Amino acid sequence: MPVLNDTIVAISTPIGEGGIGIVRLSGPDALAILRRVLRRGKKGNAVPAIEPYRLRYGRVVDPATGETLDEVLASYMRAPHSYTREDVVEINCHGGIVPLRRILLLALRQGARLAEPGEFTLRAFLNGRLDLAQAEAVLDIICAQTDASLRMALGQLEGRLSDRVRVVRQELVEVLAFLEASIDFTEDDIPYQDIAPPLARAEAALEQLLVQSSQGIIYRQGVRVAIVGRPNVGKSSLLNALLRTSRAIVAPIPGTTRDTLEERLNLRGIPLCLVDTAGIAATEDLVTQLGIERSRQALQQADLVLFVVDRSEALTAADEAIAALLHGKTVILVLNKADLPAVAVTDALLPKAMHVTVSALTGEGIDTLEQAMEEAIFAGQVRTSDAPLVSNPRHQAILHRALEHVRAAQESHMRGMAEDFVSIDVTAAVTALGEITGESATEDLLDTIFRRFCVGK
């Protein structure tokens, strides 16, 4: 864990050319450093007073040389009313690599330390500004790929998940207090408490949180979709139709696509990674063989497969061979070229898969295919209008663990086992839920979470 009583600095905007870049400082010396480097007017006079929560125009000047580094707008947020609950300074300069780097180096020479990845948000957590689930939501907001994933992350940042988890945890803490009192003070007259109802309420609440967690994780992480089929059935045309743009090269010559091509798509709030693959068929061409091998790898990694068949031609041995590779996969059979007379008989080809007829050329059936993809992704589950609360696999795993311990405690209680045995599982459930909000967070857990952040956040 880094030292948390010093002043840290980092560039908080992406490195590159842009209109504005931000250098952020947090810690006890943040304001003092700003006072030393910020000057006003052409004469380079010191700024007499820097009021909190107001932008101050000036120039960043190296006190050692008098050289102006950039023209800036600076702001000061006074503790505890800041992101980290420490004194925070943000210097808005021009967004080029050189001015940002020079101002960063100047702050380091003035006594600041380069921030570790996620250290600003770590300080916000350790100083009580955010709980652990809210801190993780900050990264989810930054990485959100769709409006739906952004709404979920914002809900978590507002504390919706934390509030629900705390209610369950508090109920279990009260059960645990009764059990421990009964164990420690056996000779005293401890008022009887029926722990069955609160354990049942905790079980129901955890089950409810877990019901939509798979949907939430899909919205957060996205789905990998492979488009497969033999050569010249219209895979690249289908990719273009789904993207509503001409992204992949399309030609009547078989084997035009010789490598995988990945594109991002927002499917009704679901982030998709579409992978167009080379046609899978027997060939002597070495380069084509390498492309086919990559197609097989994409097929293995895919969460959903769009198996494209040319319905204007009879099925071939290559179609049958590809179908044999799809065992155990979630598959939609896409019958392409609906603008041509139907020839292929596909009833026996993957009968358990959804069959959707489309024309990648005209766009016919694309909306139906998108609906089928959405249904396949959610496995027939009905989506609610309210965004799921749980979208983090770590949270999902913890909730499953807590639920198992609550059920074990219920079982022990129903069998009339001693309070010691019941309290073991209740304690484990309380500890697990604390790993979501941070009450039970260990140093290793915090390091694992925050090292995924960028340096300036």
Q: What is the mean pLDDT of residues 158-187?
A: 88
Q: What is the mean pLDDT of residues 211-219?
A: 86
Instruction: Tell me which amino acid residue 393 is.
Output: P
pLDDT at 251: 47
Residue 448: pLDDT band with limits 50, 70, 90: confident
Q: What is the pLDDT of residues 7-56, one digit of tens each?
A: 999 999 988 888 999 999 999 999 999 999 999 877 667 777 899 999 99
Q: Of 12-16, 173-177, 183-187, 294-298, which range is least confident?
A: 183-187
Count CB neighbours of 12 within 10 A: 18
Q: Is the pLDDT of residue 290 over 90?
A: no
Q: Is the pLDDT of residue 456 over 60?
A: yes
Q: Is the pLDDT of residue 388 over 80?
A: no
What radius of gyration, in Å, describes the C-alpha atoms of the chain? Answer: 29
pLDDT at 186: 63
Q: What is the pLDDT of residues 393-423, one digit of tens each?
A: 999 999 999 999 999 999 999 998 888 899 9
Q: What is the pLDDT of residues 228-273, one digit of tens each?
A: 988 888 888 899 999 987 755 454 545 545 457 888 899 888 899 9
Instruction: Tell me which amino acid residue 349 is.
Output: L
Domain topology for 146-212+390-437:
Four Helix Bundle (Hemerythrin (Met), subunit A) (1.20.120)
In terms of phi and psi (left: phi > 0; alpha: psi -120 to 50; beta: otherwise), the region of 244 is left
Q: What is the mean pLDDT of residues 141-166?
A: 91
The Cα–Cα gap between 356 and 388 comes to: 29
pLDDT at 442: 87
The Cα–Cα gap between 307 and 68 comes to: 62
The answer to whether domain 222-377 has CATH 3.40.50.300 is yes
The Cα–Cα gap between 427 and 341 comes to: 67
Alpha helices in 144-189 (DSSP H): 147-157, 160-184
Residue 344: pLDDT band with limits 50, 70, 90: confident
Highest mean pLDDT among 200-209, 221-230, 263-272: 200-209
Q: Is the pLDDT of residue 4 over 80?
A: no
Q: What is the mean pLDDT of residues 131-149?
A: 91
Q: Is the pLDDT of residue 275 over 80?
A: yes
Secondary structure of residue 24 in the 3-state scheme:
strand
Please identify which residue in the block is written with the tokens 């949270």. Answer: 395
The Cα–Cα gap between 386 and 164 comes to: 15
Q: What is the percent of the chain with per-residue pLDDT over 90, rounded to a whole number?
A: 57
Within 8 A by CB and 6+ apart from 390, the residues are 161, 209, 210, 212, 213, 216, 217, 396, 399
Q: What are the domain boundaries of the chain?
A: 8-131, 146-212+390-437, 222-377
Cβ atoms of 73 and 56 within 8 Å: the answer is yes
Q: What is the mean pLDDT of residues 54-67?
A: 94
The Cα–Cα gap between 140 and 391 comes to: 9
Q: How many CA atoms lie within 13 A of 74 on its CB side?
A: 30
pLDDT at 258: 46
Count CB neighbours of 303 within 10 A: 17
Q: Of 118-127, 170-179, 256-265, which range is least confident?
A: 256-265
Please identify which residue in the block is written with the tokens 């204007």. Answer: 312
pLDDT at 325: 87
Q: What is the pLDDT of residues 294-316, one digit of tens each?
A: 777 888 888 999 999 999 999 99
Task: Give the start-end residues of each E strand in 234-362.
Answer: 261-267, 270-276, 304-310, 331-336, 354-357
The Cα–Cα gap between 240 and 251 comes to: 13
**Assigned architecture for domain 8-131:** 2-Layer Sandwich (3.30)
